[in-house]
Amino acid sequence: MIKERIQLIAEEIFNDVVGNRRHLHANPELSFHEVATSAFVAAKLDELGIPYVRMADNGLVGLIVGNKPSNQVVALRADMDALPITEINDVPYKSQNVGVMHACGHDAHTSSLLGTATILSRIKNDFGGTVKLIFQPAEEKLPGGANLMIQQGVLENPKPQAVIGQHVMPFIDAGKVGFRAGKYMASTDEIYVKVIGKGGHGAQPQQNIDPVIITAHMLTALQQVISRFADPKNPSVLSFGKVIANGATNVIPNEVYLEGTFRTMDETWRAEAHIRMKKLAEGLCESMGAKCEFNIMKGYPYLINEEKLTANVKGFAVDYLGKENVLDLDIWMAGEDFAYFSHAADSCFYRLGTRNESRGITSSVHTPTFDIEETALLGGTGLMAYIALKQLGN
């Protein structure tokens, strides 16, 4: 019964949800600058009569309390920020803020959660428990909005027994969702290195300390920290995407600058790897007569989906969408600040398929051609409402 009611309302409000998504898509704002987005969400919550408080500047936390007695609480999370990318899609809702784009689908997450809030508000008399709506800023930028909101008490008063989040996935067809219990996404640390040698004429290497050749050794040696010290059962990735030497055919530069990323799924190993990489880089530079500045900026922790909760939520998704539309996912070495929620409370972060190959909607997130098949929002809004009610024991 409740499922059919939710499905009916989801269909009724679908055009509004798409309209909200298009408005947000056309007006993207960068992390920590989601002022208009936050005001838009606040206005929608006002319209729905949902009380809310502000947190972490642009974040909003709303509460919907069911009219049946229950002390259960579930939190639903959406992120609101966009990326520094110039959109090249030719669509009516193209970004009007040049250089900024909702290329990670956070416009879809926000409009979907507003849709879910609309559904839940309309059926308040039919459920017990409290639904906490978390609209967070700054998922894409350290230290991450989730972290700040947790520090400011988003998971207290009332304290949710479960936190649920969804994220668009352009590799899954619209209409389907995907789950992975246990460790699902990686910790993400940024590495910044400067190898300082002594530049000079390329014809006289004996008078120089060549930071280029030292960097070449360093790049291969650092990979051996991963291949020789990491437990093979624990995924680890080390990639350097920026290496600037900036000499010439006959000029050895004074220094080489590198930037990379280190990702894994184990906090003990993560800490050990940081020490080993730094020690190796510094020791190697010293042995070759150069200096080394090796800095790691710690990013988000790994994301873990609580096993029992994820099994339950996956079961609710099977009820709501049908078995054929619920997939099992592999781990993914990208980062996501929902990870902070997953370490602070039992959490489940699942994927909402948004692909439509026949319409050419296949681009990856974080690309200037990213878009979503909007019919995915029909399932997105209704499923989350259904999950919330079932999780609250209705």
Residues that bind Zn ion (CB under 5 A): 104
Instruction: Return the structure tokens found at 16.
Output: 């509004």
User: What is the DSSP pairing of strand 128-136 with strand 291-297?
Assistant: unpaired
Answer yes or no: are the C-beta atoms of 65 and 123 closer than 8 Å: no
**Nearest residue (beta carbon) to Zn ion:** 104
Is 23 flagged in the annotation as binding? no
SS (H, E, C) the chain: CHHHHHHHHHHHCHHHHHHHHHHHHHCCCECCCCHHHHHHHHHHHHHHCCCEEEECCCEEEEEEECCEEEEEEEEEEEECCEECCCCCCCCCCCCCCCCCECCCCHHHHHHHHHHHHHHHHHCHHHCEEEEEEEEECCCCCCCCHHHHHHHCCCCCCCCCCEEEEEEEEEEEECCCEEECCEEEECEEEEEEEEEECECEECCCHHHCECHHHHHHHHHHHHHHHHHHHCCCCCCEEEEEEEEECCCECCEECCEEEEEEEEEECCHHHHHHHHHHHHHHHHHHHHHCCCEEEEEEECCCCCEEECHHHHHHHHHHHHHHHCHHHEEECCCECCCCCHHHHHHHCCEEEEEEEEEEHHHCECCCCCCCCCCCCCCHHHHHHHHHHHHHHHHCCC
Instruction: Rank residues 107 and 210 by Cβ distance to Zn ion and give the closer one.
Output: 107
Q: Residue 340, CB half-sphere, CA atoms under 13 Å: how many?
A: 19
Is 102 flagged in the annotation as binding? no
Which of these is catalytic: 34, 107, 139, 255? 139
Active site residue 139: yes
- Smallest distance, Å, CB 141 to Zn ion? 10
Answer yes or no: are the C-beta atoms of 361 and 354 closer than 8 Å: yes
Nearest to residue 169, comparing CAs of 314, 334, 302?
A: 334
Active site residue 87: no
Is 366 flagged in the annotation as binding? yes
Which of these is catalytic: 29, 34, 79, 81? 81
From residue 268, give the alpha-carbon distance in Å to each of 276, 279, 387: 12, 17, 34
Which residues are identified as catalytic? 81, 139
- Residues making up the annotated binding site are 104, 106, 140, 167, 366
- Residues making up the annotated binding site for Mn(2+) are 104, 106, 140, 167, 366
